[in-house]
Amino acid sequence: MQYDLNMYEPFYGSFVALPDLYSLQAKYDLIITSPGGTRVHETVGEPEAKFHLVPYETGKYRFCLRLNQDKTGSRYVLSREVLWDLHVGHADSHSNTNLKEHDTQSLWHYVHQVDAQLQQLRATQQYLYWRERRHRMTVESTNRRVLVYALVRNGVLVLVSIMQVVFIRRMFSKQLR
């Protein structure tokens, strides 16, 4: 993915990998490359990450999100759903020189600051929502597995107990004859 970004215009984002049917989580590498070819940010082998950067060059930044097979628990992760979120902040170019009153310029400056902070809060809230959902899915599947294993184990214990009673009765019934 490539995004056109301006110099000193902050951007922030996140990604969250959702687990598959068996709660296997894929782990990803994120590499952000500047227009000059230098790596600006790198995340290796994570199922979720947040980033916040200020670019020092104007141009197309390249975002490479790829599956890391070495860090993923299984090679056979069924679904590879990733939630990607990227927000570009506001530049300080929204002050209008045609306005005569200095108070309105500072007021608009504060309005744009609040808007940028609100967008960042929304992005963080969305990241935390999907992160919590992923953790909840993992916990629920683990609970299902524990329940099935407990039922199978108790069933085997009951079956072994019944078999012991039957075996002991047969053993004593043969000795009496």
- Predicted local distance difference test score (pLDDT) of residue 95: 47
Options 1.20.1630, 2.60.120, 3.30.1760, 2.40.160; CATH of 2-142? 2.60.120
Give the model confidence (pLDDT) of 115-161 as tens digits: 888 888 888 888 889 889 888 988 998 999 999 999 999 999 999 99
35 touches 64 (CB < 8 A): no
The predicted pLDDT at position 150 comes to: 97
pLDDT at res. 110: 75
Full-model pTM: 0.55
Give yes or no for a contact between 24 and 39, defined as CB atoms under 8 angstroms apart.
no
- Residue 157 has a pLDDT of 97
Q: Rounded to 5 degrees, what are φ and ψ at 8?
A: 60, 15
How many C-beta atoms surround the C-beta of residue 141 within 10 A?
A: 16
Do residues 47 and 28 touch, judged by C-beta distance below 8 A? yes
Residues in the chain with pLDDT values less than 50: 91-99
The residue written with tokens 């899915």 in the block is 137
* Domain residue spans of the chain: 2-142
